[in-house]
Amino acid sequence: MNGEGLDAKLQVRRGESFQLDLSLSIPPGRTVALLGPNAAGKSTTVAALAGLLPLDRGRIALAGVTLDDPEQDVFVVPEARKVGVVFQDYLLFPHLSVIDNVAFGLRSRGVSREESLARAGEWVDRLGLAGLATRKPANLSGGQAQRVALARALVTEPDLLLLDEPLSALDVTTRVELRRTVAEHLDTFSGPRLLITHDPSEAFLLADEIHVIESGVVTQAGSADDIRLRPHTPYVADLAGSNLVQGVASDGVVDTGSHHLHIADHTVSGPVLATIRPSAISVHLGEPAGSPRNSWKTEVSLIEHLGERVRLRTGAPLSLTVEITEDATRALDLREGAEMWISIKATEIGIEADSEGAKR
Amino acid sequence: MTTQGLGGRRRRRRPPAVLIILGVLGLAVFVVPFLGLLARTPWTDLPALLSGDVVADALRLSLVTSLAATAIAAVVGVPLAWLMARVEFPGRALVQGLVTLPLVLPPVVGGAALLFALGRRGLIGEPLNQATGLLLPFSTWGVVVANTFVAMPFLVITVEGALRNLDRRYEGAAATLGAGRWTVLRRVTLPMIRPSLIAGLVLTWARAFGEFGATITFAGNLQGRTQTLPLAVFVALESDRDVAVAISLVMVVVSLAVLVALRERWWKVL
C-alpha cells in the first residue's frame, strides 16, 4: 500500500443486477485509464471516488487518508474530499460566469472573495481563457467549456484528478486538438489521475496504464501495447480491431471447437486466446499456391466498404474479420455470399494462455 | 406542403377553418367579460372614484396582505417543495394531494375549514387564543392566513417541479468542489431554479391579491382591517356600481400587467 497516491477497492451494488467490483492503485504522477463500454460501471466508479455514492464494501484511501471504509464505519463526505473532477458534459454552473465557476471551489472552502478571484484568474489565464472570464457557460464553445472545467477542478489543488469522459462532448476535430490540452495539463498535475473513457484512442494516448472494465469488473489491465496486441476479451479485441479466438492448444494446433488453427509455437498447451489481426489474413479466389498451413474455403458473410479499405466477415467454420484493399475486393469480385479462400501464416497468430478459460 | 407549378413557392397551409372558429369562440370567453367592464367604465370620474377612503384602505390592505402571504409562502413553501421533491417519505402522494387541494377547493370551503381550525373555538384557535390572546378571524392576520392557504400551492407546485427537473449532477459537482449542503442550496440549487422560483412567487402574489372567498369567510369584511379590494368590489356592487367597476378595472390592469410580464420571461418554465 502506498501512502501517497490512490488506493481503492470498490464494491458497490446498484439495483438487482449490477455489481461493481474494482481495485485501483494509482501512484502520484501516473495516469490510469478506465476503459469500458456503456453501463460497465465507469460512472459508478467516479461517484464512489468522489463520495457521491458510498461503498457497500471495500476501502478508498487517498494520500494516506481513508475516505471510505464501511467496515470501519468511515465515510468522508464529498465536500471534505480533495478530489477534483472534470465531469462528463462538464457541468459548469450555468448561472455563474467563467471566473466564478473557477473560483467556486475556493469560495466553498472558505477562501476570501478577493483571493478566490485572484487565484481563479491565474488558472483562467493559464488555460488561455483570459478574454472569456465574464462569459456565461452557455456562450462558450465545447473546447472552452472543457478548459474551464479543467481549471475549476485544478484550482483547489486536489489530491486526485478524475476525468470522466473529458472529450466525449466534443466534435471530432476539436477532440484531437483538446486531447493535447488535456495531455499537457495531466502532466502538470502531480497527483494520481484517473481517466474514464469509452474511447480506446483517448486511453491509448493519454494513459500510462489501462484498465478495461466490463460489467463492473476489470477484464484486462496493462499498457496500451498489452491491450492492443494481446486482448483478453472480445470487447478488447474489438477495441483494438483484432480477431479473438478461444481454443485449446496442443502440439502446435489450436482447436477452436469448429476449426483447427496451426500456430508457430509447439510448446504451448491448454486453454489459449488466439489473436489475428484483420490485415494478416489473405483472401484468394481458389486454393492458394504453396499451401500455407492455415487455409480454408469459406464465404463472405458481410462486406463493409470503408473508403480505401474493405472489411469482410467470414462465414463457417470460423467467423473472422478480414481487412483488404478496395482494389483487391474489385479484382477478386467479392460480394456477400461469394465463395473465397483465406489463408493465415502460423506466425501471424498471437497466442496467450487463457487463465480465465482454464477456470471455466 | 403543396408545390405549385415548376419552381413554385412552398406555402404554409392555413389552419383548418373549424379550428379557427372554435378557437376564436374560446378566446371570446376570456375577452367578452372585460369588454363589458370597459364599456361600463366611467372614464372621466375614474380619478375621483378611486381616491375615496374605502378604495385607498382596500388597496393598501390588499397590497400588505398579499405581499405578507407571498413572504410566508417563500419561507415555508420552498422548504416544503424541497422535501417533496427530494425526500422519500411515507404518504408523499397524500401530501402532494393536500398541497394542491386549495387549487380546486371552493375558497369558501377553505375559509370555513380555517374557521373551524383557527377560530375562537377552533381546534388550534382556542388554545392559541388562551395562551397568547391572539385571535385570527376578523383580523388582518386572518386575511394573510386565508391568502397564504389559497395562494401557496402555486409556489410549492412550481418550485417542486423545478427541483425535480433540475439535473442533480450539478449539485454533486458543487459538493466535489467543497460546497456543503447549505452552500449547494444557496449557490447552486436556488439560483438554477430562479426562473421557476420567481414565476411561483409572482403567481402566488397574484392569486393572494385577488383572493375573495376564503377571506370573507374567515376574516370577514371590515373596512381598513379585513376589507381587501375584491371584498370592496363585492360591497360596492350593492351600493355604488361605478366604484365597483373602477376597482375591478384596477385589479384587471394590475393582474394582466403581472401575467404579461411573466409571460415574457418566465411563463415557459411552468
| Segment A4-60, tens digit of pLDDT | 899 999 999 988 788 899 999 999 999 999 998 888 888 899 999 999 999 999 999
Q: Which residue has the higher pLDDT, B73 or A333?
A: B73
Q: CB A52 to CB B172 under 8 A?
A: yes
Contacts of B192 in chain A (CB under 8 A): 93-95
Could you tell me the three cell numbers for B108?
369558501
From B41's Cα to the closest Cα of chain A, the distance in A is 46
Q: What are the domain boundaries of chain A?
A: 6-92+140-235, 241-359
CA–CA distance, A6 with A32 (Å, rounded to integer): 11
From B178's Cα to the closest Cα of chain A, the distance in A is 4
- Tell me whether the omega of the peptide bond preceding residue A317 falls within 30 degrees of 0, making it cis: yes
Side-chain half-sphere CA neighbours of B121 within 13 A: 0
B165 at interface of A, judged by CB pairs closer than 8 A:
no
Residue with cell 460497465: A40
State the pLDDT confidence band at B3, using cuts at 50, 70 and 90.
Answer: very low
Sheet bearing A309-314, strands edge to edge: A281-284, A339-344, A294-306, A309-314, A321-325
Could you tell me the three cell numbers for B157?
407546485
Domain B50-269 has CATH 1.10.3720.10: yes
Contacts of B183 in chain A (CB under 8 A): 108
CA–CA distance, A335 with A317 (Å, rounded to integer): 19
Q: Which of A279, A277, A286 is closest to A333 using CA atoms?
A: A286
What pLDDT score does B248 carry? 92
For the stretch A254-289, pLDDT in tens is: 888 888 888 888 888 888 878 788 888 888 888 877
From B195's Cα to the closest Cα of chain A, the distance in A is 11
Nearest residue of chain B to residue A88 (CA atoms):
B169
Please give the C-alpha separations between residue A53 and each of A17, A45, B37, B178, B237, in angstroms, as whole numbers. Answer: 17, 9, 60, 16, 63
CA–CA distance, A333 with A323 (Å, rounded to integer): 15
3.60.15.10, 3.30.360.10, 2.60.120.20, 3.40.50.300: which CATH number matches A6-92+140-235?
3.40.50.300
Could you tell me the three cell numbers for B107?
375558497
2.40.50.100, 2.40.50.70, 1.10.3720.10, 2.40.30.30: which CATH number matches A241-359?
2.40.50.100
CB neighbour list of residue A63: distance below 8 Å, 6 or more residues apart:
A3, A4, A5, A82, A159, A160, A191
Contacts of B194 in chain A (CB under 8 A): 95
CA–CA distance, A359 with B13 (Å, rounded to integer): 69
Q: What is the pTM of this model?
A: 0.76
For the stretch A211-261, pLDDT in tens is: 999 989 998 899 877 887 777 887 887 776 777 788 888 888 888 888 888
State the pLDDT confidence band at A319, using cuts at 50, 70 and 90.
Answer: confident
* Interface predicted TM-score (ipTM) of this complex, two decimals: 0.78
**Residues A37/A236, Cβ–Cβ less than 8 Å:** no
What pLDDT score does B270 carry? 46
Q: Which residue has the higher pLDDT, A98 or A303?
A: A98
For the stretch A179-207, pLDDT in tens is: 777 888 888 899 999 999 988 778 877 88
% pLDDT > 90, chain A: 41
CA–CA distance, A237 with A146 (Å, rounded to integer): 30
Which helix H or strand E contains B195, and what residues bound it?
helix B194-209
For the residues of A274-297, what is the DSSP string, one character each? EEE-GGGEEEESSPPTT--SEEEE
